């Protein structure tokens, strides 16, 4: 178990321009935290901040960060700028995600889009921010996962998914990798860092099509994510369901050999090792 720092904290939320990320930002900034709002574009991030300020948020408690996760250079630049602006980062919420295209597409870095946006980019961002997270002494990473992760398989020899591409399968495997990354952070991250993954529920966002045709308002899921961000203690490396309760993840999440192999492959794919 680990407890976060008391009092207001500095929080970076990816994909905070809309949907679950925006609603989570709204809740955390209302809790007197300083929130860094990430958007894929500057216009998206700025518009989110404008909406928050219009709702009564003190603009001095908001910052913006911009990066298109299909480009590692933008992610690295964003991590550098956030680290320069915030020597201490108490909380990182890896929320940004895409459902993926109908047919296989590659990013400028040569990776399948869903794999890079939903997993490799969060891996790169998190590892580049371990310094500021460690400076918080009790920093926390919250990875937004999905129960679909339990239906996925990772083939170490074909992480690029060149043999066969199915949109829903690509999404599921990206969430499996992110959930395994949560466990990996307990092994390879700073000793002071706590990491959890959480399924926020089936929500009416751009990702709804991967689950169902009906979903709850994103604010419902935001309460779940915000609870995992702020509650006094969490299980380090734990996976939580849409009621913010510990839940058993896919078996390979607990397979430390598989976690280690994924960590090494991710470091290679992102140029971090």
Q: What is the pLDDT of residues 82-99, one digit of tens each?
A: 999 999 999 999 999 999
Q: How confident is the model at residue 51 (pLDDT cuts 50, 70, 90)?
A: very high
Q: What is the mean pLDDT of residues 113-126?
A: 98
Q: How far apart are CA 243 and CA 196, in angstroms?
A: 14
Average pLDDT, integer, range 128-137: 96
What string of DSSP letters covers 230-241?
A: HSS-B-TT-EE-
Which architecture characterizes domain 10-270 according to CATH? Answer: 3-Layer(aba) Sandwich (3.40)
Residue of 22, 123, 171, 211 marked catalytic: 171
Per-residue pLDDT tens over the stretch 179-226: 999 999 999 999 999 999 999 987 666 665 555 566 677 889 999 999
Rg of the Cα trace of the chain?
Answer: 17
258: part of which helix (H) or strand (E)?
Answer: helix 256-270
Residues 6+ away with beta carbon under 8 Å from 155 = none
Tell me the sheet residues that pair with 66.
39
Residue-level pLDDT at 203: 62
Q: What pLDDT was estimated at residue 217?
A: 77
pLDDT average, residue stretch 154-174: 82
pTM of the predicted model as reported, rounded to 2 decimal places: 0.93
Decide: helix, strand or coil at residue 112: strand
pLDDT for position 247: 96
The label of the residue with tokens 């043999």 reads 163
Mean pLDDT computed over 113-127: 98
Segment 237-260 shows an average pLDDT of 96
Cα–Cα dist 240/143, whole Å: 10
Does residue 43 surpass a pLDDT of 70? yes
Q: What is the pLDDT of residue 163?
A: 75
Q: How far apart are CA 133 and CA 148, in angstroms?
A: 29
CA–CA distance, 138 with 2 (Å, rounded to integer): 7
Respond yes or no: is residue 171 known to be catalytic: yes
- Burial status of residue 43 (CB atoms within 10 A of its CB: 0-12, 13-18, 19 or more): exposed
Arithmetic mean of pLDDT over the chain:
92
């Amino acid at each position: 178990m680990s407890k976060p720092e008391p009092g207001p904290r500095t929080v970076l939320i990816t994909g905070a321009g809309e949907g679950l990320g925006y609603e989570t930002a709204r809740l955390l900034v209302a809790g007197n935290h300083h929130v860094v709002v990430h958007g894929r574009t500057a216009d998206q991030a700025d518009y989110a901040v404008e909406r928050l300020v219009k709702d009564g948020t003190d603009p001095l408690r908001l910052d913006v960060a911009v990066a298109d996760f299909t480009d590692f250079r933008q992610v690295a630049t964003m991590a550098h700028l956030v680290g320069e602006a915030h020597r201490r980062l108490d909380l990182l919420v890896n929320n940004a995600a895409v459902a993926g295209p109908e047919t296989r597409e590659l990013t400028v870095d040569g990776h399948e889009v869903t794999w890079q946006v939903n997993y490799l980019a969060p891996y790169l961002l998190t590892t580049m921010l371990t310094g500021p997270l460690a400076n918080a002494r009790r920093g926390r990473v919250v990875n937004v996962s999905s129960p679909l992760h339990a239906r996925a398989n990772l083939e170490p020899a074909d992480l690029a998914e060149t043999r066969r591409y199915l949109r829903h399968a690509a999404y599921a495997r990206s969430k499996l990798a992110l959930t395994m990354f949560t466990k990996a952070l307990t092994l390879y991250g700073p000793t002071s860092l706590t990491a959890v993954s959480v399924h926020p529920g089936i929500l009416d966002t751009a990702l709804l099509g991967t689950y169902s045709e009906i979903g709850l308002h994103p604010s419902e899921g935001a309460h779940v994510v915000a609870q995992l961000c702020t509650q006094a203690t969490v299980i380090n490396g734990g996976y939580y369901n849409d009621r913010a309760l510990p839940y058993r993840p896919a078996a390979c999440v607990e397979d430390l050999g598989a976690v280690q192999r994924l960590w090494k492959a991710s470091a290679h794919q992102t140029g971090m090792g």
